[in-house]
Structure 1
Amino acid sequence: METMKQFITKKTKNNGIRFGDRLADHTEDGVYMFKENGFWTGGFWTGLNWLCYEMTGEEVFMKSARGGGERLRKRVYEAPGTLDHDAGFLYCLSFVADYKLTGNEEAKRTALAAADLLKSRFNEAGKFIQAWNVWVPGEAFSEENRGRIIIDCMYNLPLLFWATEVTGDESYREVATAHAQTCAGTIIRPDYTTFHTYVFDPVNGEPKYGRTFQGYSDDSCWSRGQTWAMGGFTYAYKYTQNPFFLEMARKCTDVFLAKIGGDDVPFWDFDLPSRLGEPRDTSAAAIAAASMLELAAYVPAADSLRYREKAKSIVDTLFHEYSTRHNPQHEGLLEQACSHKPENSQTNCSLIYGDYYFAEAVARLANCTKAYW
């Protein structure tokens, strides 16, 4: 793990010099591009720096994390309408991390403000958190967003669970638990594969249908979506101790393991008619590894060992076969990540969330992170 830690921290430190307070998103020709307000991905850059701070104790990483976090702080107070259900990704890995590691009370207040915004998206009739905003009023797809959930939100719920822990206000936990229950009965199929999105009637809350946009088809299993379910239900169990959520996490994880087989890095979708020429997704592999390392803490010894061994195998493969360790000019940590293949968008690059989860998995294996979820 030491060699991997050195690779991660050295590259992140060098990137921080160029990035300043900007929030990285994806690479083009090995150079990271930025999103002005952080999009949904900005927290992964701050989170990566907090991981490096834990791994090294060097305050340069704290400075980078807080520098990027300032953009997110302004966003929650000055432009809350730009936020959606991804507040967990943004604020767990910036302000919750800061509070957990340093006791920063201002960071705690900002994270709670973000939790309030996330909780306010709850649809009482349907018992779900609305995922996306109505981007273009009157346009059919945007209007569907009033009743849409997406599988990614399962990994955003820890922000709400954490808010209950630090305030004692059970309403955050109640919303997160209700959303997880709703996901389990809708966006998770009977065979424990996942839709990307699921649409409800926004008025009466009635479930309507599943839709998959970043996967191959509505009936296929988008590999990254499966990993969001793996980690999301694991954290739902961590905070509630509800055995139903643990069972969901295990079932979704075992489906992932069955579909990936002896491989370590999945293709962008598990159900492609042909894999010839199709891209893999290292970000899905990294999320799976980090999620299994958390799940391993809650299952019997034999399963714990199985999950940890597979996570370790994934991390080793990512480092030795997919990392940029021999290319110091490349700003990403992992190559061959795939964001949105159906739109041919960012299909062979580094994605900041893939880099973050790879670093989280390495830090977990090295026993040097408190984790921020």
Structure 2
Amino acid sequence: MNKLKRRSDMLSKRNVIIPLIALASLMCCFQLARDLVDVEKNLDYCVTQAGKTLAQINRDSVFPRDIEKDGKRWNFVRKEEWTSGFWPGILWYLYEYTGDAKWKIQADRFTGYLNPLTRRPAVDHDLGFQVFCSFGNGYRLSHDPGYKKAILRSADTLATLFNPKVGTILSWPFMIKKEKWPHNTIADNMMNLELLFWASKNGGSKSLYDIAVKHAETTMKNHFRADYSAYHVVLYDAASGKKIRGITYQGYSDESMWARGQAWTIYGYTVTYRETRDSRFLDFAQKLADVYIKRLPADLIPFWDFDDPEHGLKDASAAAITASALIELSTFVPDRTKAAQYFKLAGQMISELSSRHYQSRDSNSAFLLHTTGNKPANSGLDCSITYADYYYLESLIRLKRLAVNQTIYDYLR
């Protein structure tokens, strides 16, 4: 039986408080999203494409990362690369959708390859991506106690990068030597707080929760311009904790709004609200979403940087991340009109990503085309990439959950 067709009373089990007005609004407008997106058709498409990708993997302990523009075959990376957790995460989502044990076998296999990462000292903040997309989804769906232990170990390891004088996690320790940067925190780091929140509620130290909240608070204070657009990187004095300046590393300029960076923050503050129920974070997530939405082009898929005057490259990954975030954010917003607007926009974004303009289809075995990896480094230009595929699949899974009256987030996690 399709696992997503099982109804579950998650609200009563975990005493989850979701604003009922907003939730009722979403149920009223779900038909509109379904009219925009054929969820099962596109999930079946992902199943087919992932099967083609599996057929390309002929070595152990490698992970598909990207496919160059007009290319047919994946570039593979080792477990240490920051994107390694997305492929096993995709496999877990496919198992969740299909209930087919063959996907669980593959998900277990690729998740297992990442186990050494959970036993080494912290290298950078990306441990959250690597572990929570893989082991996190794995534990949610299998309840394997070994997975739980790996998550808890990783949370403790990630916490070692927290500087209490600054109030944030050090994102890129290697940049201290490479670029002579002091303590640095990047927008992407908001995504990895979920690992700490989960661990604090599932056997880990309460301090992990406190670190995540402090990181979110400090980032909220220092990482954003007056219009709520995000800097990619903020540099701090490690001794005093004072903000030095905001810069970019992957965007067009220090003062530009890099699309994927803004998407990470929308998603990250939505998660932070979910885990804290602190209205400051809900309000802030909406402000971040609103500036992003206001500047979108007609097809709702952003250019890689909103301020690049050439407007040549799109970033499907930013669209997929934001769509997934808006689906969840819409369940929390008490203003039913605004909640419905967010939900409708998410559906429109997913619809466009599901069109012939953005789905890979016969071009290659990825799900999506037209992602920009790192334009300043001339890397991953107009390519297919696993994190775009992961969040696209996640957004479809979330719509599927709503269709059977499940909550967006599975609180058994």
- Mark yes or no: TM-score above 0.5: yes
Q: Out of 325, 341, 347, which is 1:291 matched to?
A: 325
Given that residues 61 and 78 in structure 2 are in contact (C-alpha distance below 8 angstroms), is that contact kept between their aligned partners in structure 1?
Answer: no
For the structure 1 residues 314 and 209, does the alpha-carbon distance in structure 2 shift closer, same or farther, using more than 3 Å as the test?
Answer: same
**Runs of at least 5 residues in structure 2 that lack an aligned partner in the other structure:** 1-38, 403-407
For 1:331 and 1:80, the matched residues in 2 are separated by 35
Given that residues 21 and 64 in structure 1 are in contact (C-alpha distance below 8 angstroms), is that contact kept between their aligned partners in structure 2?
Answer: no
Q: Out of 350, 358, 371, which is 2:392 matched to?
A: 358
For residue 227 of structure 1, report the CA deviation from its aligned partner. Answer: 0.3
Given that residues 30 and 332 in structure 1 are in contact (C-alpha distance below 8 angstroms), is that contact kept between their aligned partners in structure 2?
Answer: no
- 3-state SS of 2:64 partner: strand
Which sits farther off after the overlay, 360-369 or 217-226?
360-369
Given that residues 38 and 71 in structure 1 are in contact (C-alpha distance below 8 angstroms), is that contact kept between their aligned partners in structure 2?
Answer: no
Q: Which residue is 2:275 aligned to?
A: 239
- 3-state SS of 2:76 partner: strand
For 1:76 and 1:38, the matched residues in 2 are separated by 11
1:95 aligns with 2:135: yes
Q: How many residues align?
A: 363
Q: Which residue is 1:349 aligned to?
A: 383
For residue 71 of structure 1, report the CA deviation from its aligned partner. Answer: 2.2
For 1:108 and 1:239, the matched residues in 2 are separated by 19
1:221 aligns with 2:262: no
- 1:165-222 CA deviation, whole Å, 9 max, x = no partner? 1016310110000000011011122211000000001122111000111111000000
For 1:304 and 1:38, the matched residues in 2 are separated by 39
For 1:202 and 1:134, the matched residues in 2 are separated by 15
1:109 aligns with 2:143: no
- 1:37-70 CA deviation, whole Å, 9 max, x = no partner? 2411111111111110111001111122221112
Q: Which residue is 2:352 aligned to?
A: 317
1:52 aligns with 2:94: yes
Q: Out of 243, 263, 269, which is 2:305 matched to?
A: 269
1:152 aligns with 2:188: yes
Q: Which residue is 1:302 aligned to?
A: 337
- 3-state SS of 2:376 partner: helix
**Runs of at least 5 residues in structure 1 that lack an aligned partner in the other structure:** none
For 1:131 and 1:50, the matched residues in 2 are separated by 27
For residue 136 of structure 1, report the CA deviation from its aligned partner. Answer: 7.2
Q: Which residue is 2:78 aligned to?
A: 36
1:79-90 equivalences under 5 Å are 79-81=120-122, 83-90=123-130
For residue 76 of structure 1, report the CA deviation from its aligned partner. Answer: 2.0
- 1:65-123 CA deviation, whole Å, 9 max, x = no partner? 2211122111221x435x31112111111111111111110000001111011111100
Given that residues 13 and 61 in structure 1 are in contact (C-alpha distance below 8 angstroms), is that contact kept between their aligned partners in structure 2?
Answer: no
- 3-state SS of 1:322 partner: coil
Q: Which residue is 1:257 aligned to?
A: 293
1:6-17 equivalences under 5 Å are 6-17=44-55
For 2:148 and 2:273, the matched residues in 1 are separated by 23
For the structure 1 residues 364 and 24, does the alpha-carbon distance in structure 2 shift closer, same or farther, using more than 3 Å as the test?
Answer: same
For residue 268 of structure 1, report the CA deviation from its aligned partner. Answer: 0.5
For residue 371 of structure 1, report the CA deviation from its aligned partner. Answer: 5.5
For 1:341 and 1:30, the matched residues in 2 are separated by 21
For the structure 1 residues 212 and 93, does the alpha-carbon distance in structure 2 shift closer, same or farther, using more than 3 Å as the test?
Answer: same
For residue 317 of structure 1, report the CA deviation from its aligned partner. Answer: 0.5
For residue 8 of structure 1, report the CA deviation from its aligned partner. Answer: 0.3
1:193 aligns with 2:250: no
Scaled by the length of structure 2, the TM-score of the pair is 0.84
Q: Which runs of 4+ in 1 moved over 6 A?
A: none
For 2:176 and 2:293, the matched residues in 1 are separated by 39
For 2:302 and 2:136, the matched residues in 1 are separated by 31
1:59-78 equivalences under 5 Å are 59-77=101-119
For 2:320 and 2:213, the matched residues in 1 are separated by 26
For residue 370 of structure 1, report the CA deviation from its aligned partner. Answer: 4.9
Q: Which has the higher contact order (CA 8 A, sep 6+)?
A: 2
- 3-state SS of 1:279 partner: coil
> 2:320 is aligned with what amino acid?
A
